[in-house]
């Protein structure tokens, strides 16, 4: 049971769980495009990159690649295209690619949980307290992270090149020349 959780699979599971949590925040948070959206979004991208990368080290029961590996390749493409769309200010494309990636992650979770012989259902049946503790730890740390990000102090307005703030202009008049 627990001996089936090697470090690679554990990193994969933790990253996927964080990606699920941060993705929900992005979907249901009303404000888009602000600083917290970008920070939570990049955190989600890093988690997804870990999920994708680690997935290729996890083999099927017969030691090969399966449909989840094909989904990982497709997800790498959609996440990349979502980032490119955001950088080009193509909001609809950005939203479509990343929502598709998120729902693909949910589909993978359903596919993994639906098979009783896999690690997650097996662990949930034999060690439910461990699964509950894992989910609680991820949920609490993700919630604390999001709370901290959303409550970051706002940055001051950006100044154009050569523009001086009022306080600097007032102080420069008082300085001897």
- Look up the pTM and report it: 0.74
- Residue 68, pLDDT > 50, answer yes
Where residue 84 falls among pLDDT bands split at 50, 70, 90? very high
Q: Is residue 164 part of a domain?
A: no
- Residue 100, pLDDT > 80, answer yes
CA distance 133 to 50: 22
Q: Give the chain's domain count.
A: 1
Where residue 176 falls among pLDDT bands split at 50, 70, 90? very low
Q: Is residue 171 part of a domain?
A: no
Question: Which two three-digit tokens encode residue 49?
Answer: 């990159």
Q: Is residue 167 part of a domain?
A: no
Q: Averaged over 53-67, what is the pLDDT?
A: 77
CA distance 56 to 172: 60
Better-predicted residue by pLDDT, 45 or 135: 45
Q: What is the mean pLDDT of the chain?
A: 82
Where residue 119 falls among pLDDT bands split at 50, 70, 90? confident
Q: Is residue 36 part of a domain?
A: yes
Where residue 118 falls among pLDDT bands split at 50, 70, 90? confident
Better-predicted residue by pLDDT, 98 or 153: 98
User: 77-86, 112-121, 162-171: lowest mean pLDDT where?
Assistant: 162-171
- List the domain range (segments joined by +) for residue 44: 2-152
- Please answer whether residues 101 and 22 qualify as being in contact, where contact means their C-beta atoms are separated by less than 8 angstroms: no
Q: Is residue 163 part of a domain?
A: no
Q: Is residue 162 part of a domain?
A: no
Interval 124-152: pLDDT, tens: 777 888 888 888 888 888 888 888 888 88
- Please answer whether residues 36 and 153 qualify as being in contact, where contact means their C-beta atoms are separated by less than 8 angstroms: no
Q: Averaged over 39-67, what is the pLDDT?
A: 86
**What SS3 string covers the chain?**
CHHHCCHHHHHHHHHHHHHHHHHHHHHHCCCCCCHHHHHHHHHHHHHHHHHHHHHCCCCCCCCCCCHHHHHHHHHHHHHHHHHHHHHCCCHHHHHHHHHHHHHHHHHHHHHHHCCCCCHHHHHHHHCHHHHHHHHHHHHHHHHHHHHHHHCCCCCCCCCCCCCCCHHHHHHHHHCCC
**Could you tell me which residues come within 8 angstroms of residue 25 by beta carbon, excluding any fewer than 6 positions away?**
40, 142, 146
Return phi, psi of residue 63, to 5°.
90, 5
Q: Is residue 33 part of a domain?
A: yes
Q: Is residue 135 part of a domain?
A: yes
CA distance 34 to 26: 11
CA distance 57 to 117: 19
């Amino acid at each position: 049971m627990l001996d089936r959780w090697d470090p690679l699979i554990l990193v994969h599971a933790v990253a996927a769980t964080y990606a699920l949590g941060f993705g929900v925040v992005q979907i249901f948070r009303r404000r888009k495009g602000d600083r917290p959206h970008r920070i939570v979004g990049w955190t989600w991208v890093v988690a997804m990159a870990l999920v994708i990368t680690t997935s290729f080290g996890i083999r099927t029961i017969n030691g090969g690649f399966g449909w989840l590996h094909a989904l990982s390749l497709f997800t790498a493409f959609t996440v990349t295209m979502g980032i490119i769309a955001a950088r080009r200010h193509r909001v609809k494309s950005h939203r479509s690619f990343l929502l598709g990636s998120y729902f693909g992650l949910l589909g993978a979770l359903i596919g993994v949980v639906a098979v009783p012989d896999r690690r997650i259902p097996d662990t949930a049946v034999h060690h439910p307290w461990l699964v509950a503790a894992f989910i609680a730890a991820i949920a609490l740390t993700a919630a604390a992270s999001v709370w901290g990000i959303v409550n970051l102090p706002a940055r001051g307005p950006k100044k154009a090149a050569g523009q001086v703030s009022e306080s600097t202009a007032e102080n420069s008049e008082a300085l001897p020349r």
